[in-house]
Structure 1
């Protein structure tokens, strides 16, 4: 739910609100599913993508790398789920 609203805010140009909700979605995923769960990887990817679109690459890169690490640990190094990252 946070992610959908964050995307809406992003599309409306409400970037501060969008960032807060992407971060809240990440926190919820980590608390609800665990720090190393694929749901957390998805939330990390969403926040990273937000930063990438804002050209804040130094913030995006570590989030992408953490998401890839979680997926690789969860599904193995040859799984297709993280080839899109």
Structure 2
């Protein structure tokens, strides 16, 4: 009995799928912040909260930015280490 996988999926390893998923999640997180906060970094200023070019922002926007920034600073290093380990693991199995 032959494989039921489509031709484009044959030979794809779990590590390769994991690599694509991690890279896609990292890119999505970065691009979300790039689109959502085009004038980042947001900071506290005299009128409340301001962007890089001095545009005013609300407390909610500032809080959302800080959450995204924290997520980026946690997920990107973890993702890079994961990608490095996946690369080493797949190259050692060949």
- Pairwise TM-score range, normalised by the shorter structure: 0.3 to 0.5
Higher strand share: 2
What TM-score do you get using the length of structure 1 for normalisation?
0.39
What TM-score do you get using the length of structure 2 for normalisation?
0.36
Which one has more relative contact order, counting CA pairs under 8 Å at least 6 apart?
2
